[in-house]
Amino acid sequence: MNPMTGLAAIFLAALLTVRPALAGQEDVDPLGSARWGDMRYLFPERATLRFDPRVRVLAPAVAENPLQVPVTVDASELGPVSEVMVFADFNPIVEVLRFYPQAAPAWLGFRIKLQQSSPVRAAARTADGVWHVGGAWVTTVGGGCTAPSAKAAAPDWQARLNQVSGRQWESGAQAGRVRLRIEHPMDTGLVAGIPAFHLEQVELLAAGRSLMRLQLHEPVSENPVFTLKRGTADGPVEVRGHDNNGNAFQARIAP
């Protein structure tokens, strides 16, 4: 046998042995993003990632307003989830937010800024340490991350900073949902002369139990609106949090 032919056969056999194991951990990106390989830095070095249709990212295929792109993430079909990270491949600030479901299911609605057309993804970590990834392409005219907030131009914005308004639904199609709005400019720091100024932590509690904790970054939209499902907890929902300048707030949303 030709020695080179023998080496080629051994090399091919090694490839066929290794590839199934790799494919079981991470398949080809279903959204075909040129930046998917770069997104690996968001995860621990040896983390296992799997594209999983049970992680649903609901967003418009075309977003006319890049400053307010509605997104809903639903990872509740996975069962218990420790953490969900939301990110946009082509944003200058890639990570949008993380949320940590506790008494509430892994379901959250919110709005984000997009600088250009991009996949918007959610990665949900289950108890075995595996990150399950879902996503959707959103096409937009862009510029959402480098536009100044409208709130900063209002004369009373400082007086209204971190004010919370909200509602709970007890019946109908929205039964069991909680929605809150927080007054905040959510400046990205990418506009000349305007430093980054954004909400950093928000936690929702009911009957002494934490429903969900949110860790927020600059690409969350101005005056953020969040919708979640409260699960089995009853009574008023307590909201507390702070921004990156240390301004704290606390509020109650009655049923």
What would the pLDDT profile of 172-229 be if each residue is shown by its tens digit?
Answer: 878 889 999 999 999 999 999 999 999 999 999 998 899 999 999 999 999 999 999 9
Q: Is residue 121 part of a domain?
A: yes
Q: Is residue 134 part of a domain?
A: yes
Span 79-100, average pLDDT: 98
Q: Is residue 13 part of a domain?
A: no
Q: Are 221 and 134 in contact (CB under 8 A)?
A: no
Number of folded domains that form the chain: 1
What ranges in 58-174 are assigned the alpha helix state H? Answer: 157-160
Q: Is residue 28 part of a domain?
A: yes
Q: Is residue 40 part of a domain?
A: yes
CATH of the domain at 130: 2.60.40.2470
Q: Is residue 78 part of a domain?
A: yes
CA–CA distance, 17 with 22 (Å, rounded to integer): 10
Q: Is residue 46 part of a domain?
A: yes
The pTM for the full model equals: 0.88
Q: Is residue 9 part of a domain?
A: no
Amino acid letter for position 36: W
Q: Which domain holds residue 121?
A: 23-253
What would the pLDDT profile of 42-88 be if each residue is shown by its tens digit?
Answer: 999 999 999 999 999 999 999 999 999 999 999 999 999 999 999 99
